[in-house]
């Protein structure tokens, strides 16, 4: 599946993002890896996130409170974002929806890379204070 050979730290950054469901920030990845790599630099995390984004290995989901949130799951799916606590969780997107949206634009000579569906609201936990 993976075609390139990543360095240990690069690999760890990717694995960190893939192995959690929290759609983390750069800082979260950095702090989570400090134990395993005490000499890890925040710049390395950012550098690799940019790289992974360019490769299409990860996705940028949204930026919440000024912080970019990433997703290691690149298969088509949607997100629910709680505006109160900032939690992001995955959702199903009806295939008809993304098909319809993509078709709309393809008719207008655009190239479509991705259809992103996000529901904004308040999660159950935050609703009960």
Partner DNA sequence: ACTTTAAACGATAATAGTTATTGTTATCGT
Partner DNA sequence: ACGATAACAATAACTATTATCGTTTAAAGT
Which spans of this chain sit near DNA (rule: CB under 7 A)? Answer: 5-10, 25-27, 37, 39-44, 46-50, 63, 66-68
Site string for a copy of itself, 46-75 (x = CB under 8 A): -----------------x------------
Residue 39's binding partner, choosing from a copy of itself, DNA, none, with beta-carbon cut-off 5 to 8 A by kind? DNA
Work out whether 27 is an interface residue with a copy of itself (CB under 8 A).
no
How many residues bind a copy of itself (CB under 8 A)? The answer is: 35
Work out whether 85 is an interface residue with a copy of itself (CB under 8 A).
no
- Shortest distance, position 38 Cβ to a copy of itself, whole Å: 30
Tokens at 69, concatenated:
């949130």
Work out whether 118 is an interface residue with a copy of itself (CB under 8 A).
yes
In total, the chain counts a number of residues equal to 129
Contact 26, 45 (CB under 8 A): yes
Which lies closer to DNA via its Cβ, residue 41 or residue 122?
A: 41
What is the rounded distance in angstroms from the CA atom of residue 4 to the CA atom of residue 55?
Answer: 11
What is the rounded distance in angstroms from the CA atom of residue 90 to the CA atom of residue 3?
Answer: 27
Residue 114's alpha-carbon distances to 37, 59, 111, in angstroms, are: 34, 10, 9
- Shortest distance, position 11 Cβ to DNA, whole Å: 8
Contact 77, 92 (CB under 8 A): yes
- Shortest distance, position 120 Cβ to DNA, whole Å: 16
What is the rounded distance in angstroms from the CA atom of residue 3 to the CA atom of residue 60?
Answer: 21
């Amino acid at each position: 599946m993976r075609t390139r050979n990543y360095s240990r730290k690069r690999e760890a950054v990717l694995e960190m993002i893939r192995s959690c469901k929290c759609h983390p920030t750069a800082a979260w990845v950095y702090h989570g890896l400090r134990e395993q790599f005490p000499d890890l630099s925040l710049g390395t995390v950012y550098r690799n996130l940019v790289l992974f984004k360019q490769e299409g290995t990860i996705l940028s989901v949204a930026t919440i409170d000024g912080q970019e949130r990433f997703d290691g799951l690149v298969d088509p799916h949607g997100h629910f974002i709680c505006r109160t606590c900032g939690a992001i969780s995955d959702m199903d997107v009806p295939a008809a929806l993304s098909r319809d949206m993509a078709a709309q634009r393809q008719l207008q000579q655009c190239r479509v890379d991705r259809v992103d569906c996000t529901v904004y609201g308040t999660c159950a936990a935050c609703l009960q204070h």
